[in-house]
Structure formats: structure tokens, C-alpha cells
Amino acid sequence: MNFKSFLIKYAEIGVKGKNRFLFEDALVKQINHALKPLDGEFKVYKEVGRIYVDASDYEYEEVIDALQHVFGIVGICPVVQVEDLGVEELKKQLVSYMDEMYPDKNFTFKVNARRARKNYPLNSMEINAAMGEAILDAFPECHVDVHTPQILLNIEIRTIINIYSETITGPGGMPIGTAGKGMLLLSGGIDSPVAGYMTAKRGVNLEAVYFHTPPYTSERAKQKVMDLAKKVAAYTGPIKLHVVNFTDIQMEIFEHCPHEELTIIMKRYFYRMAEELAERNGCLALITGESIGQVSSQTMQSLGVINEVCKKIPVFRPLIAFDKQDIVDISEKIGTYEISIEPYEDCCTTFVAKHPVTKPNLNKIKSSEEKIGDQIQEMVKKAIENVEEIIISNKSVC
């Protein structure tokens, strides 16, 4: 069937009053954004508790895929809209809808009418009965099942009448733009893209920072991070990726600090610099892919010591209590897994010690850091001043 409209369903919990307008407006904006690159004509609009997308000259699969990337949408219903030409005409329209939608008539169904306009001659129960009967008359092989129907035929009597029976699941969450902006620490691994996706799902706009250590980490490793950002950007819209050259700082730490403390001290520098970049770019939190106990730098003690450098904004770790397999499942769903497992090295693996500390002591780490000397402050400053900014969108890298 060639649908001319889609009815967009969104969860209404927590979006009452003024928030509801903000939520709906943000959702309309994000839907427009998602559809913009596609072929076709689209009109997105809201109407008393409903959002519709009118579409023509479009590719069905492409539109569904785009809408499934818009946070805030819980269901996408391809809808047939008919004018109110009386009860008898509606029966005919429903019969032809069912005929076209379900060539095999051996189905069970239930009619679910809702009357938003009270001047319709039949009430909801009467519509259910009349339309159910018309369908049974037209297709004697089918049956009514009010408890577990295979097809739930929805009829909404509004100024216009909506007919729909399919709901394609959306990603859920809140539309991007309904919360603030966060700075994602994005590595080439499995976890951080998932952490970004999950935070964005709550409406948070993302920027990202990647600490690059050439020549120890290759251009291909950087490209991998860009490819991952692109996958996440399919949900968020364009992401500003800050690429920080971390080599001098890394070497300085390597030279002056005990090797079993390298990862912890390096992470403390990541956090310090990410916090600075967050502040400069209006981000309200850092976001990382850490999860308790995954590696030595993610024990409770290590996380505490790393976290200590963040004084101004909170660090969000949406995966903190996730098992690896749960993270992998999400990364497969959002299409980052295949990229994450590409074999390009990251700086953590290049500079990792054989026996890293698992229970670092904050005072000891601080005194190790003091051994580095003041030149590191200059290096940090220089790295931040020379940060490379790349705008990454799901369509192209600009």
C-alpha cells in the first residue's frame, strides 16, 4: 500500500503542560532533520496530541529507517486518512484497507475505535460492532478475537478519520534538544559509542573528544573513531569531534611516572582536558564508557582516583552496571560493533603496563604526578589550543 501519512507515537509520561510543547516541538524538529536528506516531499506537523508526517514520492524503507533513528518516537504507524463521508462509506473504506493490507484473509482481528469528535453518529462501541461486522461480511474466512487479535484495526474519528493497523517500533527516549549538551570521551572501543548513544537517548546533545597519540596510534585509528561518531550521529545529528594530540603529554607521563600507574595518570589527564573542552563548548557533563570491574582502571578505587580531577561538572557513566554482553548487544543494534572490533590500536593498549595498579592510592598518584614537572601544563595548554575540530554527520564527514 502506498501510504501518504505516518502517525508518530511518543511516550507521554512526564511530558505534561509546558514540557509537552517543548517535547513535541523538539520531536518535530528532529523528524524534519532526519527526513531532510531523503528523496521525497515531507510535511511534519502536530495536531492535538498527535504528530503526523505526510509523505509523497518517497522510499518506504528509507523513511521508516530514518524515523527509527529519532529519539522520542515509540511507534511509527503508516496511516490511511479518509474524510468522513458517513458510516456506510467508512465500512467500504475499511474493507478495501483490509483487503489491500492483508491479501491472506485467514486472520483474527479486533476493531479499536476511538472517537475524539463526539458528534459522530455512532459511539466507539457501536463503531467497533458495525465495522467488525462489515469486515466479517466481506471476508468470511477471518475471525474476531478480542483478547489476542493478530490484527488490531485502529479507527480514530477526528476531523479526519485515521485508519491504521501496523505499529513499527521506534527507538524510544526523549528528542535530542530537550536536555543540555554533553562531552563524550570517544575511543575506538565498544563501550564509549554505546555510552554516547544511551545518553543521547535521554535527549542530550553530544560533542565528542578523542585523544590521539600519533605515531603510536595511526591515522586509521582516528578514522575508526570518526566512523564510530558517524554511526552515533545517525541518532543525534551532527557531532563536533575534538581530536586532541596527546603524544607529548603521554611521553611525559611515560618518562616520569611508575609504569603501573600510567593508565590512571593518563586517564586523569584525559578527564582534565575533556572538562576544559566541555566548559569551552557549553557541555554540562562528561560521558564515558566505563563499567565497574571491566579493566584495572575501572575498579571502584581507580574510578574514584580518576574522577577526582573533575571539579566542575559531573561525569556520566551510563554503562557503569552493564555486563559486557549487554553492551555488545546494544552496539550491534546501533551498528557500531563491527567498527569497534576493527584491530587498530588505541593509546591505552600501546602504553599499557604489564601489571597496572588496581587499587590506586590518591596521594601516591598525586605525588607521582608532581614528578612530571610544570612543562606538562604548557603541553596541556598547547594541545587544547591546537585541538582539531571535525563536524561529523551521518551523511558525510565535513
- What minimum distance in Å lies between the beta carbon of 47 and ligand ATP? 41
Amino acid identity of residue 249, one-letter, is: I
Is the CB of 151 or the CB of 225 nearer to Mg ion? 225
CB 303 within 8 A of CB 271: no
CB 7 within 8 A of CB 164: yes
- What minimum distance in Å lies between the beta carbon of 346 and Mg ion? 5
List the one residue from 73, 347, 357, 383 that touches ligand ATP (CB under 6 A): 347
List the one residue from 30, 247, 297, 394 that touches ligand ATP (CB under 6 A): 297
Is the CB of 120 or the CB of 270 nearer to Mg ion? 270
Q: Are strands 41-47 and 73-82 parallel, antiparallel or unpaired?
A: unpaired
Is the CB of 80 or the CB of 347 nearer to ligand ATP? 347
Q: Applying CB under 6 A, does 346 fall inside the site for ligand ATP?
A: yes
Kindly identify the residues of this chain, within the stretch 205-224, that bind ligand ATP according to CB under 6 A.
209-211
Is the CB of 41 or the CB of 329 nearer to ligand ATP? 329
The alpha carbon torsion through 96, 97, 100, 106 (nearest 10 deg) reads -90
Q: Which stretch binds ligand ATP (CB under 6 A): 63-71, 120-128, 163-171, 290-298?
A: 290-298
Kindly identify the residues of this chain, within the stretch 172-201, that bind ligand ATP according to CB under 6 A.
185-187, 189-192
Cell numbers found for residue 241: 569531534
- What minimum distance in Å lies between the beta carbon of 192 and Mg ion? 7
Q: Which helix (H) or strand (E) holds 324?
A: helix 324-334
CA–CA separation, 235 and 292 (whole Å):
27
Q: Give which of Mg ion, ligand ATP, none residue 190 binds (C-beta under 5 to 8 Å, depending on kind).
A: ligand ATP
Q: Which helix (H) or strand (E) holds 351?
A: none
CA–CA separation, 24 and 46 (whole Å):
8
Instruction: Name the one residue in this structure whose C-alpha cell is 557503569.
Output: 320
Is the CB of 34 or the CB of 228 nearer to ligand ATP? 228
Kindly identify the residues of this chain, within the stretch 159-218, that bind Mg ion according to CB under 5 A.
187, 189
Q: Which residues of 135-158 are buried (b: 16+ CB within 10 A; e: fewer)?
A: beebbeebeeeeeebebebbbbbb
Count of residues near ligand ATP by CB under 6 A: 21
| Sign of the dihedral defined by the CA atoms of residues 52, 57, 60, 66, in that order | negative
Q: Give which of ligand ATP, Mg ion, none residue 185 binds (C-beta under 5 to 8 Å, depending on kind).
A: ligand ATP
CA–CA separation, 398 and 393 (whole Å):
8
What are the residues binding Mg ion (CB under 5 A)? 187, 189
What are the residues binding ligand ATP (CB under 6 A)? 185-187, 189-192, 209-211, 270, 288-290, 294-295, 297-298, 346-348
